[in-house]
Structure 1
Amino acid sequence: MEKLTIGRITMTWLNGGITHLDGGAMFGVVPKPLWMKKYPCNDQNQIPLRTDPILLQVDGKNILIESGIGKGKLNEKQKRNFGVTEESDLENRLALLSLTPEDIDLVLMTHLHFDHASGLTKWEGDTLVPTFPRARIITSAVEWAEMKEPNIRSRNTYWKENWEAIVEQVDTFAEQLEVVSGVTMIHTGGHSDGHAIIIITSEGETAVHLGDLMPTHAHQNPLWVMAYDDYPMTSIFAKQKWLAYGMENDAWFTFYHDAYYRAVRWNDEFQIIESIKRQ
C-alpha cells in the first residue's frame, strides 16, 4: 500500500474498487487527441478510475477520505454500465494495518456520489448497516441535503441505499471545518453543489485533496473539467484558486480516482517533479 507522510500525518491508500467510465465524459469538451496523450483509454473509449479511500492517521485518530464503491452494493447491470471490474477490498487492507472498520473514527466525504459513498454501508443479510459503525461521517450541509432529496439529474447518483443506514452518524458543515488539527474541509461546489476539498497541513508540509475537481493528474488544466460536473464554471474557478494555493505552498496533490498516480508535486510549468505511483 502506497503511503505519503505530511509532517506528523500519515496517508495510506486502500483498495476501494475500480470503475471504467467514458473518457469523453471525464474530460468534457476537451478533444480526445489531447486527453488521451495524458490518460489512455481502452477500445471502448473508457478510462480506468480507481475509487480508493485514503487513510489518514494523526493524533491517534483513524480518518478515511471517501469510502469506495463497496462490495455487493451494485447489481450486474450497474457493474456493466460503470465498468466495475473490481469491488472494494477495504476490510482486508485495513487488516494489513492491524485495523478493522470499527477502528475508523471519521469519514470525510468530498461529496456523496455513488462511486464515493457506496462503501458507507454494507449488507448484513437483507439489511443495510453502517460499514464504519463508530465513525462520524462529515460532509457539507448542501451535499447532505441533496443526497436526501436529489433532483432530476442527481437522483441517478445519490442513492438511498448509501445514506439511510448512516443518517445518525452524519455531521455537516457550512463553509469550512477543521476536522482535527491540520485537516480542514472546505466547501467549493462545482462538481456537485455541495462538493468539498480537503487541505492537510502539518509541520510546514501541505497536501491538497481536490476530490472530483481534479480526479486525476491529467485534469491539472483548470479548463479540463468533467461533463459530470453540475456547475462547470464553479469547478474551473475553484480549481484555479486551489491549484494556485497548492503551488504556492509546494504541496502534494492527492487523488482518489487516478489509476496511475496516488500523489504528485508539480513545478511552475506543471511538470511532475515528485510522485507516488500506484503499484
Structure 2
Amino acid sequence: MENLQVGRARLTWLRGGVTFLDGGAMFGVVPKPLWSKKYPSNNNNQIELRTDPILVEIDNRNYLIDTGIGAGKLSDKQIRNFGVIEQSYIENALAQIELTPDDIDAVLMTHLHFDHACGLTKKNGDSLTSVFQNAIIYTSSIEWKEMQKPNIRSSNTYWENNWVPIVDQVHVFDKEIEITPGLKMIHTGGHSNGHSILVFEEGNECFIHMADIMPTHAHQNKLWALAYDDYPVTSVHEKEKWMKYGYDKQAWYTFYHDAYYRAIQFNKNGEIKNLVERTRYTDRN
C-alpha cells in the first residue's frame, strides 16, 4: 500500500475495487485524441478506474475518505455494466496495518454515488449492516437529502441499501466543516449537487482531495469535466478556484479513482513537482 506524509497527516491508500468505464463519458466533450494521450483506454474505449479509499491518520485518529465499491453487493449485470474486475479488500488492507473497520473514527464522504458509498454497508445474512460501526459519517446536507430522495437522473447511482443501515451515524454540514484542526470538508457541488472536497493545511504543507471534480491526473485541465457531472459548469469553476489555490501553495492533489498515480504535487505553474505512483498489483489477495 502506498503512503504519503503531509504535515502531521499520514495518508494510506486501501484497495476498494476496480471499474472500467467509458472513456468518453469520463472526459465529456473532450475529443479522444486529446484525452487518450494522458490516460489510456482498452479496445472497448474503457478506462481503468480505481475506487480506493484513503486512510488519513491525524493525531491518533483514523479518518477514511470514501469507502470503495463494496464486496458481494453488486449483481452480475452491474458487474458487467460497470466493468468491475475487483471488489473491495478494505478489511484485509486495514488488517495489514493492524486496524479493523471498528478503528475508523470518521468516514468523510465526498459524495454518495454507488462507487464511493457501496463500502458503507455489507451483507449480514439476509440484511445489511454498517461496516464502520464506530464512525461518524460526514457528508453535505444537500448530498444526504438527494441520497434519500434521488431524482430521475440520480436514482441509478443513489442506492437505498447504501444509506438505510447507516442513517443514525450520519452528520451533515452546509458550506464547510472542520473535521479536526487543519482538515476541512468543503461543499462544491458540480459532479453532484452535494459534492464536497477535502483540504488539509498545516503551515506550508497542504493536500487537496478534489474527489470527482478531478478524478484522475488526466483531468487537471480546468475545462475537462465529466459527462457524469450533474452541473459541469460548476465543476469547471470550482476546479479553476481550487487548482489556483493549490498551485499557490504547491499542494499535493490526491486521487481516489486514478489507476496510475495516488497523488501529485504541483508547483506554482501547475507543473509536476513530486508524485506517488500506484503499485500495479498482479494478485487478488
**TM-score normalised according to structure 1 size:** 0.99
Matches within 5 A, 1:107-256: 107-256=107-256
Q: CA deviation at 1:269?
A: 4.4
Residues 1:88 and 2:72 are matched in the alignment: no
CA distance in 1, matches of 2:213, 2:70: 22
User: Which string of whole-angstrom CA distances, capped at 9 and with x for unpartnered residues, describes residues 17-52 of structure 1?
Assistant: 010000000000000000000000000000000000
Q: Distance in 1 between matches of 2:99 and 2:12?
A: 13
User: Is the contact between residue 104 and residue 134 of structure 1 (CA under 8 Å) also seen in structure 2?
Assistant: yes
> Match of 1:167, as an amino acid?
V
Deviation at 1:129, TM superposition (A): 0.1
Distance 2:52 2:104 in 1: 16
1:61 equivalenced with 2:61 (yes/no): yes
Contact 2:249 2:268 in 1 (8 A): no
**Aligned counterparts of 1:169 and 1:145: Cα–Cα separation in 2:** 15
Q: CA deviation at 1:177?
A: 0.2
Matched-pair contact (CA < 8 Å) for 2:248–2:267: no
**Residue 182 of structure 1: CA displacement?**
1.1
Do 1:19 and 1:83's aligned partners in 2 also have CA atoms closer than 8 Å?
A: yes
How far is 1:202 from its partner?
A: 2.2
Partner secondary structure for residue 38 of structure 1 = coil
Q: Is the 8 A contact 2:188 2:238 kept in 1?
A: yes
Deviations along 1:184-243, one digit per CA (max 9) or x if unpaired, are: 000000000000000011242000000000000000001100000000000000000000
3-state SS in 1 of match to 2:36: helix
CA distance in 2, matches of 1:271, 1:199: 20
CA contact (8 A) 1:199 1:208 kept: yes
| Counterpart AA for 1:2 | E
2: CA distance, partners of 1:23 / 1:59: 39
Offset at residue 270 of structure 1 (A) = 3.3
Aligned residue for 1:37, secondary structure, equals coil
Q: Report what 2:283 is aligned to.
A: none
Q: CA RMSD in A?
A: 0.7
Alignment of 1:10-49 (within 5 A): 10-49=10-49
Structure 1 alignment gaps of length 5 or more? none
Matched, 1:263 2:256: no
Give the C-alpha shift of residue 69 in structure 1.
0.3
Distance in 1 between residues matched to 2:239 and 2:43, nearest whole Å? 30
Give me the identity figure in percent.
60
Write out per-residue CA displacement over residues 56-91 of structure 1, whole angstroms, 9 at most, x where no aligned residue.
Answer: 001111000000000011111000000000000000
Whether the aligned pair in 1 keeps the contact of 2:183 and 2:198 (CA below 8 Å) is yes
Amino acid at match of 1:238: E
Q: Distance in 2 between matches of 1:153 and 1:192?
A: 11
Deviations 1:103-152 (A, max 9, x none): 00000000000000000000011110000000000000000000000000
Deviation of the 1:268 alpha carbon: 4.3
- Structure 2 residue identity aligned to 1:168: D
Shift, 1:273, TM fit: 2.0
Distance 2:269 2:244 in 1: 12
Stretches of structure 2 that go unaligned for 5 or more consecutive residues are 280-285
Decide whether the 8 Å contact of 1:190 with 1:233 is kept in 2.
yes
Tell me which amino acid in the other structure corresponds to 2:260: Y
1:239-278 CA-to-partner distances (Å, cap 9, x unmatched) read 0000000001110000000000000012344332210000
Please name the residue that 2:104 is paired with: 104
Report the count of equivalent residues: 279
SS in 1 for 2:234: helix
